């Protein structure tokens, strides 16, 4: 396994659930990240879906002890470069393009590229990727689909994201080819807006306990 694959695997193995965050206000980023870390979720994905996202990554990277912050919804090399400059320690994409693979090849920061079909997985394996994001997980076939890939595509590990909740996370985590799952349920928008950091820490702790 390459050094970047090893680095990514060690990050994703920190916990069973990686929070997938859409942050509207950068001011909430640090207390939100601290609440998640306090609950046992150290690796955090902040998606580049808002104007506040890069500033949120910067603040969490600089101010939250114990957090391993990554950037998600990376669609092109410009996104990749901006996220790395902001302090992202891993990069997540919903799918993959040649341009994005090329950008990742020239960086020390590991990419978790998205795939939804066996062909996409095979193409990424040829590029040296052993850990992939499976997205959108529930809509693309769910745990049953990933289970069916475990034998013919042995050696590839997945972090499924999309439609996953506390109710179905164990269906995925019980599979041999799953390293963790991504989920937004640990930081509901209404709790973030209300500043209910204790409530989010409780949700994070419930998610972290799925490892058992």
Burial class (CB within 10 angstroms; exposed 0-12, middle 13-18, buried 19+) of 90 = buried
Q: How far apart are CA 146 and CA 167, in angstroms?
A: 18
The alpha helices in the chain, defined as continuous H runs, are 3-12, 29-38, 53-63, 77-86, 98-105, 118-126, 142-149, 169-173, 189-194, 197-208
Residues in CB range of 34: below 8 A, 6 or more apart: 64, 67, 197
Please answer whether residues 63 and 28 qualify as being in contact, where contact means their C-beta atoms are separated by less than 8 angstroms: no
Q: Which residues are catalytic?
A: 45, 133
């Amino acid at each position: 396994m390459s050094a970047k694959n090893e680095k990514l695997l060690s990050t994703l193995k920190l916990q069973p659930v990686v929070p997938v965050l859409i942050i509207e206000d950068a001011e909430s980023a640090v207390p939100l990240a601290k609440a998640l870390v306090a609950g046992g979720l150290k690796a955090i994905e902040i998606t580049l879906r808002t104007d506040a996202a890069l500033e949120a990554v910067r603040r969490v990277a600089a101010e939250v002890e114990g957090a391993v912050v990554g950037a998600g919804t990376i669609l092109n090399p410009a996104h990749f470069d901006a996220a790395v400059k902001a302090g992202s320690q891993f990069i997540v994409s919903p799918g993959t393009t040649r341009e994005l693979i090329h950008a990742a090849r020239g960086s020390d920061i590991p990419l978790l590229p998205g795939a939804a079909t066996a062909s996409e997985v095979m193409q990424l394996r040829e590029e040296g990727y052993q850990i992939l994001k499976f997205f959108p997980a529930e809509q693309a076939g769910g745990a049953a689909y990933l289970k069916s890939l475990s034998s013919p595509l042995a050696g590839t590990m997945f972090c499924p994201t999309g439609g996953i909740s506390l109710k179905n996370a164990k269906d995925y985590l019980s599979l041999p080819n799953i390293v963790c799952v991504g989920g937004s349920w640990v930081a509901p928008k209404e709790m973030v807006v209300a500043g209910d950091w204790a409530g989010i820490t409780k949700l994070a702790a419930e998610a972290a306990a799925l490892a058992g």
